[in-house]
Amino acid sequence: MAEIKQATGVIDWLDQRLAVKKLTKVLMTEYWIPKDINFLWAMGVVLMTLFTILFISGIFLLMYYKPDIKFAFDSVNYTIMQEVEYGWLWRHMHGVAASLIFLVIYIHMFTAIYYGSYKKGREMIWITGMLLFVTFSAEAFSGYMLPWGQMSYWAAQVITNLFGGIPLIGEALVVWIRGDFLVADATLTRFFMLHVLLLPVVIMMIIALHFYSLRIPHVNNQEGDEFDFDVESKKYIDGKKKESKVVPFWPVFLSKDFFVVGVSMILFFYLVCYHYNFAMDPINFEPADILKTPLHIYPEWYFLWSYEVLRGFFFDIGGVAAMDIGLAAFGFANVIFILLPFLDRDTQHVEPAHKRPLFKFWFWLLLVDMIVLTVYGKLSPTGNNAWVGFYAAITFIVLFLILPIITKIESKFSRSAK
């Protein structure tokens, strides 16, 4: 009887081993990635790592933070930073991760634009990615208010006031968002709830949707070549690895992700330990004072480009108030990226920007223009600074207005060349 049980156990163990091998083979043969995809495509994994750091460090900060205008500033700058053991470390990690996550988002976004990863068949990947950008922006803005410093308060005052420009419901919407007629304790409580509960849940849901949408198309490779994944994967399985243009996601491609994440973590902890102040505005180390307006109000660096588009129109045009033009331009800037798959009219060719005769100039002009907007968004809008901001804002709008035209010309040129 014992021998029968022992034999049965061996058979079960062999069946399990066989099942694992079959599952491994299925996983390796189902998910294939172009061989020449570069390190820029690992930014999604870096984003997940940074979001995890934000989530964990946020939990530790929550243990001591008090969402009350009387205690919020002290709970952050005295309790956490000076009294709690290693509280400074968790705050530095949270602040640096919040800034780096936007740097990586912009790299990830412009990589996708460069390689045409928003085109026909890939729209869902792009749209879910832009939804993530919007929710991360809301998460960052709500978190920026929580320390209740000078810049936190006045930035919240300015940004919430923007909703007042919406016709008919603007004024009521501002009061509803703030929970009061001014930015006050009710506003802090609402933003606290958004930052620690609602928005993180929404972000995690969109991340899951974004990852799932990767299954719809194959990720285009660095050169934009079209090839048969089944044929190329068969070469890899048959031992012709040099001839194959694809590699299995696990373990070959994922090892690249691990390497990039490792390098990014070295940079991350270097900034945390030695240059954390780049992620924290000095003015925000002063307690919020509703009677003392800062000479120059500006948001965090990752919002500066859209902020400069908002304030770039500093004079009335054709009888339309400058404020209304700025609000319209600000709305345009925050919506237009989502519509990119529908603005690019060359839907048949998925090629990187350097292979497109007109789009490559458009891409680099857009990148340079957004850098200019970011730099001048931090400067005082006076004299030449104001005019540079105005022309940069106009350039940003014009670039997206002419995109359908130049991509349509490219499409016709490609067909005639064939």
Residue 211, pLDDT score:
87
Q: Is the pLDDT of residue 28 over 50?
A: no
pTM: 0.87
At 391, the amino acid letter reads Y
Using pLDDT thresholds of 50, 70 and 90, give the confidence band for residue 346: confident
Confidence of residue 26 (pLDDT cuts 50, 70, 90): very low
List, in order, residues 6 or more apart from 301 with CB less than 8 Å away: 99, 102, 374, 378
The pLDDT score that the predictor gives to residue 29 is 46
Topology at the third CATH level for domain 31-297: Cytochrome Bc1 Complex; Chain C (1.20.810)
Tokens of residue 52, six digits? 């995890």
Q: For residue 1, is pLDDT > 90?
A: no
The reported pLDDT for the residue numbered 415 is 57
The two counts, helices (H) then strands (E), for the chain are 16, 2
pLDDT at 253: 79
Which range among 51-65, 82-96, 336-350 shows the weakest confidence by mean pLDDT?
Answer: 336-350
With beta carbons less than 8 A apart as the criterion, state whether 391 and 373 touch: no
| Whole-number percent of the chain with pLDDT over 70 | 88
Contact 124, 216 (CB under 8 A): yes
pLDDT band at 107 (very low <50, low <70, confident <90, very high): very high
The larger pLDDT score, comparing residue 7 to residue 82, is at 82
User: Given this model, what pLDDT does residue 316 score?
Assistant: 86
For the segment 388-407, the average pLDDT, to the nearest whole number, is 95
Query: Would you state the pLDDT for residue 217?
Result: 56
> How much is the average pLDDT of 120-147?
92
Q: Quote the pLDDT of residue 78.
A: 95
Helix (H, G, I), strand (E, B), or coil: what is residue 45?
A: helix
Burial class of 213 by CB neighbour count within 10 A (0 to 12, 13 to 18, 19+):
middle
Six-digit token pair at 46? 């870096």
Other C-beta atoms closer than 10 Å to the C-beta of 98 total 23
The model's pLDDT over 264-318, given as tens digits with 9 standing for 90+, comes to: 999 999 999 999 888 888 888 999 998 888 888 888 999 999 999 999 998 888 8
What is the arithmetic mean of pLDDT over 348-375? 91
Determine the pLDDT at residue 27.
Answer: 45
Is the sign of the CA dihedral 156, 158, 160, 161 positive or negative?
A: positive
How far is residue 46's CA from residue 51's CA, in Å, rounded to a whole number?
A: 9
Q: What is the mean pLDDT of residues 186-208?
A: 94
**Which DSSP symbol is given to 70?**
T
**Higher per-residue confidence, 348 vs 387:** 387
pLDDT band (50, 70, 90) for residue 15? low
- DSSP assigned state of 149: B
Q: Could you report the per-residue pLDDT of 55-64, keeping only the tens digit for each?
A: 999 999 999 9
- Which distant-in-sequence residues (6+ apart) come within 8 Å of 128 by Cβ? 206, 209, 210, 213
Task: Give the pLDDT band (50/70/90) at residue 246.
Answer: confident
Report domain extents, the chain. Answer: 31-297, 305-418
Chain segment 175-190, per-residue pLDDT in tens: 999 999 989 999 999 9
pLDDT exceeds cutoff 90 at 54:
yes
Ramachandran area for residue 317 (φ above 0: left; ψ -120 to 50: alpha; else beta): beta
Res 121: pLDDT: 79
Output the CA torsion sign for 404, 406, 408, 411. negative
pLDDT of residue 323: 87
pLDDT of residue 4: 52
Within 8 A by CB and 6+ apart from 47, the residues are: 101, 104, 105, 108
Q: What is the pLDDT of residues 254-264, one digit of tens each?
A: 888 899 999 99
Whether residue 103 is predicted with pLDDT greater than 90 in this model: the reply is yes
pLDDT at 20: 47
Q: Is the pLDDT of residue 50 over 80?
A: yes
- Which residue type occupies 16? Q
